[in-house]
Chain A
Amino acid sequence: MTASVEMRGITMSFGANEVLKGIDLVLAPGEVTAMLGANGAGKSTLIKVLSGVNSDYGGDILIGGEPVRIDHPTTARHHGIQAVHQKIADGVVPGLTVAENLLFEGIVNNQVARASSLRGLMPRAREMAAVLELDWPDDLLRKDIYELPIAEQQLLLLCRALVVTPQLLILDEPTSALSEAEAERLFDVIRSLRDKGVAVFYVSHRLAEIDDIADRLLVLRDGVIRSDQSRPFDWGAALHDMLDSGETEARDRSQELRGADEVLHLDQVRLLPKSRPFDLGIRAGEVTGVFGLLGSGGNELAHGMFGSQPFVGGSMTLNAAPFHPKSPADAIEREVYMVPEDRAAGTLIKDWSVAMISTFPFLADVSRLAVLNHPAEAKVGRSVIDEFGVVAQSEDDPVLSLSGGNQQKVVVGRWLRKRPTVMILNEPFQGVDVGARHDLAEKAREVAAAGSAVVVMSTDLEEIMEVSDRVIVLADGNLRFDAYLSDTSRDEILTRLSEVE
């Protein structure tokens, strides 16, 4: 016997930042409800509200018509809400055996005696594995959890969520670690749960999966539900709701740059283990925008070109000479630069000044016989501040005291001032205010006009439309579309992205 889970006017704020702005939603038993949403739309926050992690939400949650307050993960579980989160590492407990991990909840709740021997746990562990018809032999159950392949770990977490048949099962990007066959097995499980009357809430970026399994499709954007469809899904409309706000004016197309010389050529490159190889030429004198949903290969493309993470397969040439960077240092020697997607982890150094961050990749410029020349360094710091309009008191300001947009101007500026051959900007507008985003896009275009090849990766269509001359669409690591913006339209881009293979 299962009941519906109903949300009425759910809101959630972090400080002044309102992430959920009133969600009304009924998750019906025996139905798979899928949800799409761009970065920052509020998906994770909504899942955390339902699973009791974010306890200070506003609004009401009703289960089977009864109002309940979900103030703790235990409460959520008590009411039959089980969530399998995206990060497998958050769920499994290292150092314990597979069997102990299966029974982990029982162990922490003292339902299973802490002192019980592994042998004592085995019958129960076998039962649990049987929930998903996992044919795990005893010697596998005795192994350390880390000897289990990542996909099996994912299934283990699912077993744990399914020990008691839940009312509502929440799955957050459950297939990101699974092979196709394993994903198929997961879908079989989901279907059988649905047939048993479980409500399934399925969050994913993979359109093909949603098309395969969902009965209903929601699009979340800026903390509200934008659209709610039942089968058959109109993918174009869904992606439009998800990605295209139509807010920004299209750039003046007469200023579109058309580069001529192909600087960097990718030859039969494969981005993801399951994706198909493709060729791609990056031209100097224009901005190439690489657009795709999260996990579609843009990140892999950026790191592959920069040598910070090898491609799954394929090779490159740079100015017609072979280019096989084994590290970022190799790429930088050939004037191929990258601004990574995660500013804090990938670029910033605590206690360092704006000047120090500005000069760091090219310290030879500000030193003589390896001895640092501080006036020269300060000059570079000031030039980055002036040229890129960084709001800072002086070049000695700690970089962490700046706002996100100004930090980003510094880390982009330190490369752009060197007139790169290829400049890769991986998600350069994340956590950046609109004004700074506009300035950064302008600078990227100026550098392209001066002869650099600029490549911008983004999961946000508006950002791509603002900065690019040419757009490339990636989906599941495959090259879907390649056109100059003046020869295409938002609708065509979204249609190409929405083609479900």
Chain B
Amino acid sequence: MATQKTADQAHDTAAPGATTPQRPRRDMRELVVKYGFIAVTVIFFIYFLATIDAFRMSSTMFSMLKFTSVVAIAGLGVTTTMVVGGLDLSVGSTVGLSVTVAAMTMVIYAQQGSVAIVAVLIAGAVIGAINALLIVALKIPDLLATLATMFLVQGLKLVPVDGQSVSSGLILRDGTVAPGKFTSGFLEINRGSIGPVPYPVIIWAVLGVATWFLLSRTKWGRIMYAIGSNPEAARLAGARVGRYKAFAYILSGVFASVAGLILASRIGQGDISAGNSTLLDAVAVALVGTSVLGVNKPNAFGTTIGAILIGILLTGTTMMNFQYYWQDVVKGLVLFVALVFSFTLSARKRRFTAAVPL
């Protein structure tokens, strides 16, 4: 097209201007964008350390991290889907489903904890595969597809349990009492620790490092970022876009089910409302994570820092005897500040909000 060519030529002449030296003010701003978020985290941490005695105990630290692990792990899954240019809205309901599946396996079918773990992981992978099918094969936009999955899973998980929470002693449809209970081994997932470090924190750390390694150090991660940034360029360079998207959603489903395992082990019964708040928290930490270090793209390290900051703030405010409803206010403010870092202060535009690459 005629206009295309002129626009390109205009770009040619404009390009040298882009390399003019940056003014100091811009450097300052870049510093803020890059380290501002981590600084905020550290400042709050030090503030709580200084003002709250109980906060200083190492057990508080670890229980805080343990408490955050469910959201953080689900957030890591959300991060992988954001990397390929999507967003998995079904993670919360997958966490909830995992709790129900774990409870059913152990309480109703009287199976071992290990069987429950396998069943939950398979359920998570299946939900991810359903999302992948909707998005890749049926070409439904990511948000809409995972929204539909979210409702389906939320509703369908209640069908086999007649809408009841599953706990030991549950009266089944045929009038008998459910034969099993949460095994002590399964409850160890939440209770156990290596030295002072609780298992959930170890699981979080392992999955966090694995996700970081996958996304930042392997060719697969490179291709996933390319797909999220410019899917057509990725396709024309030979990336099999559908496969990578499917992989990201299946991974997200599995991560959500791992988060669900920890949650199930924590509450020790098949609470039907479990996981209800996880979705928004997980999406929030993944979004917050995009602003960490000013990278402006979803990344595992950022998600982890985002989760830790929210954990610190929630623990701190709870210990300062704030009412529970302040928790949402705190989360909202954190997200707001993160978005200011990303959108307002950053010179670069956020990549995953732009449908067009340039």
Contacts and interface: CB of A to CB of B under 8 A. Distances in A.
B303 to A, nearest CB: 19
A347 B237 contact: yes
Given A327-B240, A403-B15, A41 B222 contact: no
B121 interface: no
Given A329-B238, A402-B15, A349 B218 contact: no
B10 A17 contact: yes
Interface string B1-16: 1111111111111011
A44 B223 CA distance: 37
B358 A404 contact: no
A375 interface: no
Contact of B13 (A16, A367, A430): A16
Interface residues of A, number: 52
A431 B4 contact: yes
B197 to A, nearest CB: 27
Contacts of B18: 401
B11 A431 contact: yes
Contacts of B8: 343, 404, 430-431
Main secondary structure on A side of the interface with B: mixed
B348 interface: yes
B9 A431 contact: yes
Given A350-B357, A403-B15, A431-B12, A345 B232 contact: yes
B342 to A, nearest CB: 14
Interface string A352-375: 100010001101101100111000
A39 B234 CA distance: 27
A207 interface: no
Given A349-B230, A351-B351, A401-B15, A372 B219 contact: yes
B22 interface: no
Contacts, number: 129
Given A350-B351, A430-B8, A340 B219 contact: no
B251 to A, nearest CB: 15
Interface string B217-238: 1111011001001101111111
Given A350-B358, A356-B222, A401-B15, A19 B233 contact: no
Contacts of B161: none
A37 B220 CA distance: 45
Contacts of A15: 10, 13
A351 B348 contact: yes
A209 to B, nearest CB: 19
A451 interface: no
B19 interface: yes
A45 B10 CA distance: 15
Contacts of B16: 403
Contacts of A364: 219
Interface string A302-343: 000010100000000000000000011101100000101011
Contacts of B351: 350-351
A93 interface: no
B239 interface: yes
Nearest to B9: A17
30 contacts: A17-B9, A17-B10, A19-B6, A40-B6, A43-B2, A45-B2, A344-B357, A345-B230, A345-B357, A347-B233, A347-B236, A347-B237, A349-B233, A350-B351, A351-B297, A360-B226, A360-B237, A361-B238, A363-B219, A363-B222, A364-B219, A366-B219, A371-B219, A372-B217, A400-B358, A403-B12, A403-B15, A404-B11, A430-B5, A431-B5
Interface of A: 14-17, 19, 37, 39-45, 306, 308, 327-329, 331-332, 338, 340, 342-352, 356, 360-361, 363-364, 366-367, 370-372, 400-405, 430-431, 433
Given A40-B5, A45-B6, A344-B358, 10 more contacts: A17-B9, A338-B236, A343-B8, A345-B356, A347-B236, A370-B218, A401-B18, A402-B15, A403-B11, A433-B12
